[in-house]
Amino acid sequence: MRRLGRAFYARDTVVVAQGLLGTFLIHKQRGVERIGRIVEVEAYLGPHDLAAHSARGQTARTRVMFGPPGHAYVYLIYGMYCCMNVVTEPAGHASAVLLRALEPVQNVRGRTQGPGLLCNAMGIDLRLNAHDLTSDKLYIASQSSSEPFRIVKRPRIGVDYAGMWARRLLRFYIRGNPYISKT
DNA sequence: TGCACGATGAAC
DNA sequence: TTCATCGTGCAC
């Protein structure tokens, strides 16, 4: 297992999104190490992407999206669930990758199919917003050797309001994986 | 200061 | 299809 560095996140958002599939999200919480394999993600390309939070300009909430890559953008949705994103591309680009589903690996509690459930199961909440993903506490790691897989491309979930952007194939998941959030 | 609404999930 | 539940963003 090798921790992903800043350079990994500083690239094109679609490349990063697809590159995150099959990697491992690791959260060390009060001595407990929780690990989940990332099997489903969505790319949010920047202010021009009408489905992205950054489309309405920089605000207190979306500030981290406009910052340097390799940080966690965690926000509260519907007053009850947290969603975790990974900030991509150089500072100022305001793009990110939403983590949508994990395959449980270690110390994961409950279901992990869906962005809200995923955060719950991994113990991720708003306190981790803006956290540096090259840190020891919360990071993503890749495995040198892993089983090959096919990547399925689909429209993103829950962004029908975004017009043409809702139709773009920016949701990616590992084909055949049983932990995908929806079909 | 008020209020409509959301990158969800679960129940009905 | 409806609803829980609340921070955010923008209108007054």
pLDDT tens digits along A95-131? 999 999 999 999 999 999 999 999 999 999 999 999 9
- Residue A60 CA to residue A53 CA, distance in Å, equals 11
For residue A67, the model assigns a pLDDT of 97
Q: CATH 2.30.30.100: does it fit domain A2-174?
A: no
pLDDT greater than 90 at residue A183: no
- What pLDDT sits at residue A159? 96
User: For residues A20 and A36, is the Cβ–Cβ distance under 8 A?
Assistant: no
Q: Are A36 and A102 in contact (CB under 8 A)?
A: yes
Angle (CA) A143-A139-A102 rounded to 5° is: 70
Residue nearest to nucleotide B8 (CA to C1'): A116
Distance CA A144, CA A136 (A): 20
Kindly list the protein residues whose beta carbon lies within 7 Å of any strand C atom.
Answer: A 53, 56-57, 59-62, 75-76, 78-80
pLDDT, tens digit, 9 for 90 and up, residues A25-80: 999 999 999 999 999 999 999 999 999 999 999 999 999 999 999 999 999 999 99
Which bases of strand B sit closer than 7 A to a protein CB? 6-10
The residues close to strand B, meaning Cβ under 7 A, are A 42, 44, 51-54, 65, 73, 76-81, 83, 85, 96, 98, 111, 113-118, 156-159, 161, 181
Helix boundaries (H) for A113-156: 115-122
Nucleotides of C under 7 A from a protein CB: 4-10
pLDDT, one tens digit per residue, over A116-172 is 999 999 999 999 999 999 999 999 999 988 889 999 999 999 999 999 999 999 999
In angstroms, rounded to a whole number, what is the distance separating the alpha carbons of residues A95 and A90?
A: 9
pLDDT single digits (tens) A7-24: 999 999 999 999 999 999
First to last CA, chain A: 30
Residue spans per domain, chain A: 2-174
Distance in angstroms (rounded) separating the CA atoms of residues A3 and A168: 30
